[in-house]
Amino acid sequence: MNQSDQRTPAPTQTTEETSAMCPHNPPCPAAQESDREHARVIGRDYLLGWTLLCNGTIVFDTGSLLPDGQVIAPHRPVLAGVAA
């Protein structure tokens, strides 16, 4: 028996600091991107009607609030293939 000392090195993640908040891989879209609402939900209050996304965006029924204080007007996603 030939025992070779092949120890795999510990996985070192060379994660680039894209977002201080987002631990996900692939990283969630940033709050400044148009697809910001596709970030993962990390907090939600059904009673008060808000959802906190991973990128720091807070989504209300009446719009969204970005981490920098910018307000996004409410909008509904466009559903493809829906007949009028």
The one-character DSSP state at 46 is T
Question: Among 24, 43, 44, 49, which residue interacts with Zn ion (rule: CB under 5 A)?
Answer: 24
Residue 28: CB partners within 8 Å, gap ≥ 6? 19, 22, 38, 39, 40, 53, 54, 55
Q: Closer to Zn ion at the Cβ: 5 or 68?
A: 68
Q: How far is the CB of 69 from Zn ion (least distance, A)?
A: 21
30 binding Zn ion? (CB under 5 A): no
Q: Closer to Zn ion at the Cβ: 40 or 44?
A: 40
Contact criterion met (CB below 8 Å) for 30 and 19: yes
Q: Which residues bind Zn ion (CB under 5 A)?
A: 22, 24, 28, 40, 54
